[in-house]
Amino acid sequence: MTWLDLTLPTPAENLACDEALLDAAEEQGGSAVLRFWESPSHFVVLGYANKVAEEANVEVCHEQGVPILRRCSGGGTVVQGPGCLNYSVILRIYQVPELQSITGTNQWVMSRNRDAIARLLGRPVSIEGHTDLATGQLKFSGNAQRRKREWLLFHGTFLLDFDLSIIEKVLRTPPRQPAYRDHRSHNEFITRLTLSSASVKAALVEVWQAKAACASVPYERTQNLVTNRYGRDEWNFSR
């Protein structure tokens, strides 16, 4: 596996880059990739099947200049911004047997991330729902996946030095919730980690055994995806 620490200028470009990396792997093969990025600005990102009106407070987002975008993977709606560390792994599905199913992939990837963060924190971390990481029943990481024939994208966010108060303002209470949430509000349900971005990156590089810097970045493919999808209301507000 190679690693890539790359934050592009806009939210749309950063979301598009994950899909571009997946598409490039599917078409060209190569090694698995671990990517990191951290958005300098706030935005809301919907899971592929989420409905905008059910998940986001659209009026507040518009008033505060918080863009609403949609990603290519499933999962719930989240807020991105300064203090969020995003990671993505591009994996060949037939690399290990666990990756050949959605459930097996969730467990295999999440177990690795859980163990890496637990070692940093020095206290237990649990996998909750299908793809949440939590400590003391408080969520600090949400994750999702997108699958193709040969390769898959698994990505997520770690809440570090992030202003949690914005979540309550721009997101509605989600219509679908994991049981462990127990109908708690965003402020009661979510926490952040007192860890540096650098330490989390190092822990993930170690647990994923990423050995070298990624030499090839699909910039042109990324820009095409922005033009045709991530930068268009027809995509972001399609549901």
- The first and second tokens of residue 28, run together, are 């060209």
* pLDDT tops 80 at residue 171: yes
Average pLDDT over residues 90-95: 95
Domain count, the chain: 1
Domain CATH code at residue 65: 3.30.930.10
* Distant-in-sequence, close-in-space partners of 90: CB < 8 Å, separation ≥ 6: 21, 22, 25, 32, 33, 35, 151, 152, 153
Q: Averaged over 183-211, what is the pLDDT? A: 95
Residue 130 pLDDT: 86
Residue 137 gets which letter from DSSP? T
Residue 214 confidence (pLDDT) above 90 = no
> Whole domain around residue 43: which residue ranges?
2-236
For 129-144, the pLDDT digits (tens) are 989 999 999 999 999 9
The pLDDT of residue 30 is: 87
**CA–CA gap between residue 43 and residue 50 (Å, rounded):** 16
Give the per-residue pLDDT at 216. Answer: 87
The answer on pLDDT for 154 being more than 80 is yes
Q: Could you tell me whether strands 84-92 and 151-159 are parallel, antiparallel, or unpaired per DSSP bridges?
A: antiparallel
pLDDT digits (tens, 9 = 90+) for 95-122: 899 999 999 999 999 999 999 999 999 9
Could you tell me which of 119, 146, 124, 120 has the C-alpha nearest to residue 134?
124
What's the one-letter identity of residue 236? Answer: N
- Residues 111/115/117/118 CA torsion (nearest 10 deg): 130
